[in-house]
Amino acid sequence: MADRLAFEISPELRERVEATIEAVRGDPGDRAGVGDLISTIQELTETGLEYYFLLPLELAEVGGVSRSTARVGVAAARQGMPHVIRRVVGSMSEQELLAIVDFLDGMLIRNDD
């Protein structure tokens, strides 16, 4: 297994990721499942941007102007990414969709209680 960096997600997002993986694996041709996959990838992307970019700036107590600039950049990415994600994921074959959910499943670190 390759080394990985991970970011924290809410229990609700974890449940959505798992449900989406299950739905797409169950019927990769179901457009509702693909829609859920698209929205899940969008949310994971936003969460990752927050975790990997904005949180470290906050923890480092970077100046307010720099943090504001970073927030503007992240907001711009948030506006552009959904279109790209919808277009790319929405045009994938069933085999490609299965590869994407396999990737997500491999990235999901489950902390069993």
pLDDT score, position 113: 46
pLDDT tens for the chain, 113 residues: list them: 577 788 899 999 999 999 999 999 999 999 899 999 999 999 999 999 999 999 999 999 999 999 999 999 999 988 999 999 999 999 999 999 999 999 999 999 887 64
Phi, psi of 2 (to 5 degrees): -75, 155
Residue entry with tokens 């670190």: 109
CA 69 to chain centre: 23
Structure token pair of residue 53: 């970019």
Structure token pair of residue 54: 């904005």
Domain ranges of the chain: 11-107
Which amino acid type is present at position 95? Q
Closest CA to 34 of 102, 94, 79, 84: 94
pTM equals 0.87
pLDDT score, position 109: 86
